[in-house]
Structure 1
Amino acid sequence: MRCTYVMRVWLPDRPGALGAVASRIGAVGGDVVGIEILERGGGRAVDDLVVELPGPEVVSLLVREVQQVDGVDIEDLQPVADALHDPRLDALETAAVLVGASSAAEVLDALCQHAVRTVGGAWGAVVDLTEPALCSGHGEVPSVEWLVAFARGSQAAAAAGPTGVEVEAVWAPLPAAGLALVLGRDGHPFRSRERRQVMALARIVDTRFRELRAAEARRAHPSAAGTSVPGFVGGGAAGA
């Protein structure tokens, strides 16, 4: 029975490097059914390859074959439950869920859950940086104190300029809401494309959260309930 894996590889950023890796995958009976370029720089590229294999028994052989390609390293290899895994489709579906949320609480919960799935995180949280407080969480979320410290530290580091340090957590601000999204995982850092995806999802939710909070405030205002006037129906006097 064929199975699907996502293999994250470092390879030389030169013509033919990806073809050499694909050739090795084909040598064990596998097919490359998806490619996502996560990061490029310093003469190296980091790619996610969605690989379909004849079965899990060839995984170790696949690893040995790919590692024989000069300059190529495997950072991670994970099975994919959905054989039709498509990162671009995942991102679009996540955006649709976020835009369709019907309450401020729902959109924050959806952001945590779907951002984790879209970028491959282990956990996700939305925190209020001023309280501080946890607004929503998915997975084994660290303490509020750690989340706030990480977000504030990352904000200060970004203002100072690029550091080149790779971390296994990523954050994005929701400035209109006064909140921050923080995602984390173990084993491998977030890459440039993944960080941009997190920022884009946060911008969508920041706008939607503001709209939903405004709608909730209007519904809660006493004038929203209206008043009842005897003998008055729909703008005309009763019996008119």
Structure 2
Amino acid sequence: MMLRLRVSFPDRPGALGQAARVLGTLGADILQVTVLERELGRAMDDFTVSWPGTVDAETVRDRLSGVPGMRVEGVWPTREIPGAAPDYDLLKHVAADPGRAFATLVDAVPDLVSADWAVIVSPESGELLHRSWQAPEAFDEGSGLVGVKVTDLATLRPAVLGSGRHQLMSLPVPGTSRHLILARADGPPFHRAEVDRAMRVLEIVSIMGRTP
């Protein structure tokens, strides 16, 4: 199985190696390391790892947390293929069929930021205009988005929110009143690096989608 691990640790020589050694003793194959931030003497990285079978996420969390100064921010499944370029693939498909730009976006953008699903919503009507196949059909109690209203998600700027068992990202679609909402159930809140990546792709898709 393949997991994403978000780990915070002191930004000093050897700290990254300590995390890699712990994962190695657990039988993990480290496929990719993504640097999220380096500031105030600490670093935060995402590890994409695979195991030959199933793994107890709590065991991984406990072993890594046993290293002095190391914190595990999240452990969750991921579909992202290390070394792939899903953002380029997404833009290629949009360029091939601009009329389906936003339908293509919601299908593909979750894999860019290890999200579970995506929708584009109209705040005025509450209608989900486009949705990935995993997304709920409406924001109601059955969707797991406890207490969330569409107007809560419709901010003027990118925002990260939590609701029920989901972590949410809300991005305004440029030039419209619509919003792109992404969600994941098992991972930590979306990092600003993930928000920035999704927003850049959304801006390009918005331009391509308006091309005659």
Using the size of structure 2 for normalisation, the TM-score is 0.76
How far did 1:206 drift? Answer: 1.0
Tell me the equivalent position of 1:175.
174
How far did 1:181 drift? Answer: 1.3
How far did 1:86 drift? Answer: 2.0
Amino acid corresponding to residue 101 of structure 1 in structure 2: D
Tell me the equivalent position of 2:26.
28
For the residue of structure 2 that corresponds to 1:197, the secondary structure is helix
Gaps of 5+ in 2: 141-147
Tell me the equivalent position of 1:193.
193
On the 8 A contact 2:158/2:169 being kept in 1, the answer is: no
Using the size of structure 1 for normalisation, the TM-score is 0.69
Give per-residue Cα distances to partners, 1:180-225, cap 9 Å, x unaligned: 21212234210011101110121012101211xxx3xxxxxxxxxx
Amino acid corresponding to residue 190 of structure 1 in structure 2: F
On the 8 A contact 1:171/1:182 being kept in 2, the answer is: yes
On the 8 A contact 2:128/2:138 being kept in 1, the answer is: no
On the 8 A contact 1:9/1:48 being kept in 2, the answer is: yes
Tell me the equivalent position of 2:143.
none
On the 8 A contact 2:158/2:171 being kept in 1, the answer is: no
Going from structure 1 to structure 2, the CA distance change for 1:59 and 1:122 (only over 3 Å counts) comes to closer
Amino acid corresponding to residue 35 of structure 1 in structure 2: V
2:113 is matched with which residue: 92, 114, 119? 119
How far did 1:151 drift? Answer: 1.9
Going from structure 1 to structure 2, the CA distance change for 1:52 and 1:121 (only over 3 Å counts) comes to closer
For the residue of structure 1 that corresponds to 2:13, the secondary structure is coil
Amino acid corresponding to residue 112 of structure 1 in structure 2: V
1:99 is matched with which residue: 83, 95, 101? 95
Aligned equivalents of 1:9, 1:78: Cα separation in 2: 12
Going from structure 1 to structure 2, the CA distance change for 1:37 and 1:166 (only over 3 Å counts) comes to farther
Going from structure 1 to structure 2, the CA distance change for 1:184 and 1:79 (only over 3 Å counts) comes to closer
On the 8 A contact 2:157/2:172 being kept in 1, the answer is: no
On the 8 A contact 1:37/1:193 being kept in 2, the answer is: no
Going from structure 1 to structure 2, the CA distance change for 1:171 and 1:99 (only over 3 Å counts) comes to farther
Q: CA RMSD in A?
A: 3.0
For the residue of structure 1 that corresponds to 2:5, the secondary structure is strand
Aligned length: 198
Going from structure 1 to structure 2, the CA distance change for 1:102 and 1:17 (only over 3 Å counts) comes to same
Aligned equivalents of 1:157, 1:179: Cα separation in 2: 12
For the residue of structure 2 that corresponds to 1:176, the secondary structure is coil
Tell me the equivalent position of 1:218.
none
How far did 1:170 drift? Answer: 1.6
Going from structure 1 to structure 2, the CA distance change for 1:4 and 1:121 (only over 3 Å counts) comes to closer
For the residue of structure 1 that corresponds to 2:169, the secondary structure is strand
Amino acid corresponding to residue 150 of structure 1 in structure 2: L
Give per-residue Cα distances to partners, 1:125-165, cap 9 Å, x unaligned: 2123456643212312653982333223xx2798xxxxxx8
Q: Which has the larger radius of gyration?
A: 1
Does residue 205 (structure 1) correspond to residue 208 (structure 2)? The answer is no
Going from structure 1 to structure 2, the CA distance change for 1:41 and 1:98 (only over 3 Å counts) comes to farther
Give per-residue Cα distances to partners, 1:164-188, cap 9 Å, x unaligned: x864222222223443212122342
Gaps of 5+ in 1: 159-164, 216-240
On the 8 A contact 2:79/2:114 being kept in 1, the answer is: no
Going from structure 1 to structure 2, the CA distance change for 1:177 and 1:87 (only over 3 Å counts) comes to farther
